Amino acid sequence: MTLPDIEWLHLAVRWFHLIAGVAWIGSSFYFVWQDDSLVPAPDDPDADRLGGHVWMVHGGGFYHVRKYKVAPARLPDHLHWFKWEAYATWASGMALITLVYWLGAAAYLLPAGSPLAAWQGVAIGVASVVGSWIVYDLLCRSPLARHEGALAGAVLVLVAALAYGLSLLFTGRAMFIHVGAALGTIMVANVAMVIIPNQRRMVAALLKGEAPDPVWGQRGKQRSVHNTYFTLPVLFMMISNHYPITYSTRWNWLLLLAIGLIGAGVRRIFVLRHTGAAKAWMMPLAALAFVLLAVAATPARPPRQDAAEAGQSDFPAAPFPVVQAIIRARCTACHAEHPTMAGFEEPPQGVILQTPEQIVQRAELIEKMAVTTDAMPLGNATGMMPEERAILGRWIAAGAPPP
């Protein structure tokens, strides 16, 4: 029996991570919606204790949810806590970052020519995740936290500093994932260290027959609101590695911030919509910001490529043998049936670039990964030069003619 490929483990962990994340974010959306949809319940027997109620219909059943201002007079025997979704998402996310970026540090975490050893890169990665939580938590406990705007500004500066700092040390895709992991860790730690403990204090007080301190609920609510705004930016960061147009640009850390802000803004609009305070222009404005960002982030193309596309003959497409020589020098160490690059057993993503047919067939993907962006060669492990990218670009612009 041969051992199955490690990719199966990656798949299992990623699948689990996605499912747990859907459960967590889904229930979080649901509770935010519910909080914003409560209406007063003056006829309820418990009216003076209630913050409001909401009626819902779903899947053929009617649901009636009542929210208490602080807590009910007597606790029910069965109380459901929402926490495993968050913990499972975090644990599987950490397993995934370990498998892909920390165990694969040489290929995925550190760019070619990095002065860092793999273990140093991993140590910085771990420190960035843990350190972000410590700084954020201190900010929330500082006097700054009395002013919502000031706290939001400070958190933004923290994220910007993290993104910029990591962009100097890590590959673009690793930087995006680490910022996402740091924010995700803050979200889970908010649940584990603040929201749940405060709920436990409230429950303990109730069991002793004392009135719970409303501050406990408020602190939990503050962190829970933060989590709401982190959600959409974090989800973007988690899928960003499919989009080299975002992470492999020169200003990638600014781009990450901008997309994060748009995500937080969209979340804000949704919250406002529930309370009826959203304006009709808000969503189109967010969409416009996204379009403008896409335009601003698109690099100017080398003039030669434009010339080739216009069919101008003084910039003829590079002859195929030159193209193939570049691919052989820069890509096939990994993208071959039997890669020679250490750490690669199989051609990554099944992409093989050895024969002319394989190269011609993949021309569009080659352009996406190695011409309009420098996502490939991974971490520029083979030292590809800009001139070589330009030659590939001219060949593709001329319609990727076969030999």
Residues near ligand HEC, by CB under 6 A:
107, 241, 330-331, 333-335, 341, 348-349, 351, 362, 365-366, 369-370, 376-378, 381-382, 384
* CA distances from residue 96 to 3, 16, 283, 366 in whole angstroms, order as listed: 20, 10, 34, 27
The minimum distance between CB 403 and ligand HEC, in angstroms, equals: 17
**Exposure letters 158-188 (e unless 16+ CB within 10 A, then b):** bbbebbeebbebbbbbbbbbbbbbbbbbbbb
Tell me how far apart the alpha carbons of residues 163 and 56 are, in angstroms, rounded to a whole number.
42
Comparison of 50 and 376: residue with beta carbon closer to ligand HEC: 376
**Is the separation of the CB atoms in 7 and 32 below 8 Å?**
no
Tell which phi-psi region holds residue 182, choosing left (phi > 0), alpha (psi between -120 and 50) or beta: alpha
Comparison of 162 and 352: residue with beta carbon closer to ligand HEC: 352
Comparison of 108 and 315: residue with beta carbon closer to ligand HEC: 108
Taken in order 350, 353, 356, 359, the sign of the CA dihedral is positive
Total Cβ atoms within 10 A of residue 126:
16
Distance of CA 323 to the CA centre of its chain: 35
Of 211, 132, 212, 128, nearest to 175 (Cα)?
Answer: 128
The minimum distance between CB 323 and ligand HEC, in angstroms, equals: 11
Comparison of 276 and 386: residue with beta carbon closer to ligand HEC: 386
The minimum distance between CB 266 and ligand HEC, in angstroms, equals: 26
The minimum distance between CB 392 and ligand HEC, in angstroms, equals: 7
The minimum distance between CB 286 and ligand HEC, in angstroms, equals: 27
Comparison of 217 and 377: residue with beta carbon closer to ligand HEC: 377
What spatial distance separates the first Cα and last Cα of the chain, rounded to whole Å?
43
Total Cβ atoms within 10 A of residue 256:
28
Comparison of 308 and 392: residue with beta carbon closer to ligand HEC: 392
Amino acid letter for position 313: S
Comparison of 106 and 192: residue with beta carbon closer to ligand HEC: 106
Comparison of 14 and 304: residue with beta carbon closer to ligand HEC: 14
Amino acid letter for position 81: W
For residue 176 the two structure tokens come to 């995006």
The minimum distance between CB 248 and ligand HEC, in angstroms, equals: 12
The minimum distance between CB 152 and ligand HEC, in angstroms, equals: 33
The minimum distance between CB 373 and ligand HEC, in angstroms, equals: 11
**Is the separation of the CB atoms in 360 and 320 below 8 Å?**
no
